[in-house]
Amino acid sequence: MRRTLKIKTRLVFTVGFVAATLAGSAAVALWRLGAVETGVEQLARSDARTAADVSRAYEQAFTSLRTRLEADATVKGEPVDADSGWPATAARLQRQASDQAARSRGAMEAGGEAVRSDITRGEVAIAAALALSLLALVAVLQLFVYGPVAAEAASLVRVCDALAVGDHTCRVPNPSDTELGRVARALNQMLDNTVTLVESRAERDRMQAAVMKLLEEVSGVAEGDLTVQAEVTADVTGAVADSFNFMIGQLRQIIGQVQAASRQVSTALADLRDVTQKLAGGAEDQAAQAVEASVAIEEMAASIHYVSENASSSAAVAEQSRANAEHGTRAVTRTIEGMKAVRDQVQETAKRIKRLGESSQEIAEIVELIGDIGDRTSILALNASIQAAMAGEAGRGFAIVADEVERLADRATEATKRAGVLVKATQTEAAEVMAAMEDTTREVINRSNIANEAGVALSEIQTVSNRLAELIQAISDAAQQQARGSEQVAKSMTEMSSVTRNTASSTKQTAAAINSLALLVDNLNATVSRFKLPASGGDVAEFGHPRLVAV
Amino acid sequence: MTAPTLADAVAAIDDRFDGAVDAIVAADQSAAGDAAGDRYVLVSLASTCYAVLEAYVTEIDRVPRITPVPHVPVWVRGVTSVRGDIFSVVDMRAFLGLDAQPLRTARLLVVRLLTEEFSAGLLVEGVDRIVDIAADAIGAPESPLEGPLAPFLNGICTIGDRTVAVLDLDRLLRSPEIRQFEERKEDPSCEER
């Protein structure tokens, strides 16, 4: 209920009551006491001032005296002794005077103090009365006014104090519906607004600072210094810095690659220049060699033509050989047939000779028989002759006949002997002829076999000759083809020679182009060498690129 | 070769035959007053030709089958039988000290003594022919003859281009060797009986 009361109402009641009761007494008492105290105060202040003046006068006097004495002593050449002589005396006097002044000032101060204590006791009494009244007042105020109001005000004060030191976070807790509460509410509202306002501004400032810092950090990049690294903070610019770092990194990588590539291009250009020089030289050599090769190929074509002609001749020879072999084969066949006929005839002849031998045997037997008959006839003739002799004269003619018969028988015997010898010789010859015939037959068979082999060999020769003719024909064809091919090769060599000459001129143009390219690469190197790269990447910031020599 | 030779032989035989007829006529004509020589049989023995008087020869034949006899010299081949007569056979070759040689031309001469009954067979190498030899044609040899038959030779003569030794069969058959053999010969015959 009390919180619903207006402060104005309460103050009307309370202050009216208290003011009525205390105002007069308190005012009077205080007024009086105030006057007394003022007087005392003035008195004490004048005494103190007087004492101070006196003391200061003594001090000055003794000081000047002492100074003069010391000066005299110095002039006279006496040693200055602080504890003896005139200066010491003056100092003692000075101390005494100071003590005296201090004592009198203490006495006056003690008197003033006594008066002041009295006044104070009166003031205490008044104050006690007033305090009692005030206690009552305070109790009332505490009960009705100060309690609720002061608490709220204290909160306000606390908030304001905090605000005074810049603490915008403090708020009045739980504001009532009183005016103070409304004030507190408004204060809270204001604080909230202020805080909001301040926070946005701080944010902006911070961001601006961060952006500035970032710009400062990365300003080197514009001059090509890629070694810089933006600080990555937690605020908004952190992401930017991160992106920037990433971009720098990428840029660094790209520049590094560009530098490396530029170096490689320089090196490659140097190599390329060498190669081009060699190529130009090689093209000239090649042109010369092409000419030599053309000559060689023409010689080769002539050789191939010669080979072709020889192959044609060989083909004719092979054909002749084949024909001869065929002829030989026919001759061998005829020979074999002839030998067969000879063999048959020999066999027939042998048969006949054998029969002849058999006939000779019969003849021999007959001859032997005749011989035997002749022998017997001879014996008979001899006996007849003997018998005729025994017969005496009568048998004389008979003896002659017997003689003659005997002679004939002897002749017959002789003839049969000769016939036998002849027959025997005939038989021997027949046997020899038989053996010879058999030998001949065997020989004929052997010769037939040899002739057969010769025939086989000849037919093989024929086959081989055919094959040879085919091969030689193939060689001839191939040689002709080679001749045509070599002509084409010679033509190609000529074309190649012109191509090589073109290549040589092109190579010179290429060399010129390479020189231009080298200049471009030099420019590129100069351009990219402006960028500084961290040494950690292996790439030095200032790398030397190979200078290209003009071709 | 054989045929012409045979023809020649036949022609020769024809010629001979014609010649023989002429010879017979001639011999008949000359036989009357020409009885100067004796007929001898020419035998060949050890490359030498011997002449034996035809009168001592009764028969000439081939070598017959001879039956050997024991206890006789090697030149006594044995005994044989010719037409019923049994007599000893003397191998003249062995008698001359040569090896016995069976020849196709070997002949058996059946000889006899003219004065007494004695026959023997002589084996010779061959019988050539029967010739007439005049008595004055037989002469003494220029050098003394040697050999086993030397004591039985009458002399030598020349017929054509051949030198012929004339063998005296009478002396031979009466010689001690043959006779000794002849004595022995009686024994086997006695035994046979």
* Pick from A477, A491, A496: nearest CA to A297: A491
The mean pLDDT of B128-151, rounded to a whole number, is: 77
CB contact set of B107 (below 8 Å; sequence gap of 6+): A379, B43, B60, B61, B62, B63, B123, B124, B126, B127
Is the separation of the CB atoms in A300 and A486 below 8 Å? yes
CA–CA–CA angle A76, A79, A84 (5° rounding): 110
What phi and psi values does residue B66 have, to the nearest 5 degrees?
-115, 130
Is the separation of the CB atoms in A415 and B12 below 8 Å? yes
The pLDDT, as a whole number, for residue B128 is: 82
pLDDT at B187 over 70: no
Nearest CA in chain A to B60: A383
Residue with tokens 């007042």: A137
- Cα–Cα distance for residue pair A20/A33, rounded to 1 Å: 21
Lowest mean pLDDT across A12-26, A434-448, A536-550? A536-550
B130 at the A interface (CB within 8 A)?
yes
The mean pLDDT of A315-335, rounded to a whole number, is: 84
- Cα–Cα distance for residue pair A203/A73, rounded to 1 Å: 79
Length of chain B measured in residues = 193
- Alpha-carbon distance A332 to nearest alpha carbon in chain B (angstroms): 40
In which band, very low, low, confident or very high, does the pLDDT at A87 lie, cut at 50, 70 and 90? Answer: low
A412 at the B interface (CB within 8 A)?
yes
The pLDDT, as a whole number, for residue B99 is: 77
Length of chain A measured in residues = 551
pLDDT at A146 over 70: no
The pLDDT, as a whole number, for residue B30 is: 52
What value of ipTM does the predicted structure carry? 0.74
Q: Could you tell me the domains of chain B?
A: 37-192 (2.40.50.180)
Per-residue HEC secondary structure of A436-470 comes to HHHHHHHHHHHHHHHHHHHHHHHHHHHHHHHHHHH
What is the strand order of the sheet B162-167 is part of?
Answer: B126-134, B37-45, B48-53, B162-167, B153-159
Whether A385 and B54 lie within 8 Å, measured CB to CB: yes
A428 at the B interface (CB within 8 A)?
no
- Cα–Cα distance for residue pair A393/A383, rounded to 1 Å: 17
Q: Could you tell me the domains of chain A?
A: 2-167 (no CATH), 239-537 (1.10.287)
Task: Give the tens place of pLDDT for each residue, A243-295.
Answer: 888 888 888 888 888 888 888 888 888 888 888 888 878 877 887 887 888 88
- Alpha-carbon distance B33 to nearest alpha carbon in chain A (angstroms): 12
pLDDT at A415 over 60: yes
Is the separation of the CB atoms in A62 and A101 below 8 Å? no
Interface test mutation site (partner B, options A367, A386, A426, max chain B beta carbons within 10 A): A386
Nearest CA in chain A to B20: A404
Is the separation of the CB atoms in A123 and A77 below 8 Å? no
Task: Give the tens place of pLDDT for each residue, B143-185.
Answer: 776 777 777 888 888 888 888 888 888 888 888 777 775 554 4
- Cα–Cα distance for residue pair B75/B93, rounded to 1 Å: 8
The pLDDT, as a whole number, for residue B181 is: 59
Whether B2 and A419 lie within 8 Å, measured CB to CB: yes
Mode of pairing for the β-strands spanning B119-124 and B107-112: antiparallel
Is the separation of the CB atoms in A520 and A513 below 8 Å? no
The pLDDT, as a whole number, for residue B18 is: 66
Task: Give the tens place of pLDDT for each residue, A488-534.
Answer: 887 888 888 788 888 888 888 888 888 888 888 888 888 888 777 77
**Beta-carbon neighbour count of residue A3 at 10 Å?**
12
Tokens representing A527 are 């351009």
Assign B87 to helix, strand or coil: strand
Which region holds residue B21: left if phi is over 0, alpha if psi is between -120 and 50, else beta? alpha
**Beta-carbon neighbour count of residue A506 at 10 Å?**
16
Which secondary structure element, helix H or strand E, spans residue A141, and what is its range? none
* Pick from B50, B62, B15, B122: nearest CA to A375: B62
**Beta-carbon neighbour count of residue A434 at 10 Å?**
17
**What is the four-CA torsion angle of A516, A520, A526, A527, rounded to 10 degrees?**
170
* Pick from B45, B76, B63, B47: nearest CA to B152: B45
The pLDDT, as a whole number, for residue A375 is: 85
Set of chain B residues whose Cβ sits within 8 Å of the Cβ of A427:
none
B2 at the A interface (CB within 8 A)?
yes
Residue with tokens 């008195």: A43
Nearest CA in chain A to B28: A397
CA–CA–CA angle A529, A230, A200 (5° rounding): 145
Task: Give the tens place of pLDDT for each residue, B74-109.
Answer: 888 888 888 888 888 888 888 887 777 677 778 888
Sign (positive or negative) of CA dihedral A262, A263, A268, A269: positive
Residue with tokens 């840029």: A251
Sign (positive or negative) of CA dihedral A391, A396, A402, A403: positive
Lowest mean pLDDT across A117-126, A412-421, A427-436? A117-126
The mean pLDDT of B14-34, rounded to a whole number, is: 57
A396 at the B interface (CB within 8 A)?
yes
Average predicted confidence (pLDDT) for chain A: 79
- Cα–Cα distance for residue pair A226/A258, rounded to 1 Å: 14
* Pick from B163, B182, B29, B27: nearest CA to A385: B27
The mean pLDDT of A146-169, rounded to a whole number, is: 78
pLDDT at B10 over 70: no
Whether A407 and B41 lie within 8 Å, measured CB to CB: no
Is the separation of the CB atoms in A389 and A399 below 8 Å? yes
Q: Could you tell me which residue, A78 or B94, shows the higher pLDDT?
A: B94
B24 at the A interface (CB within 8 A)?
yes
Chain A residues 120-139 within an 8 A CB cutoff of chain B:
none
Assign B175 to helix, strand or coil: coil
- Cα–Cα distance for residue pair A322/A313, rounded to 1 Å: 14
The pLDDT, as a whole number, for residue A213 is: 83
Which region holds residue B97: left if phi is over 0, alpha if psi is between -120 and 50, else beta? left
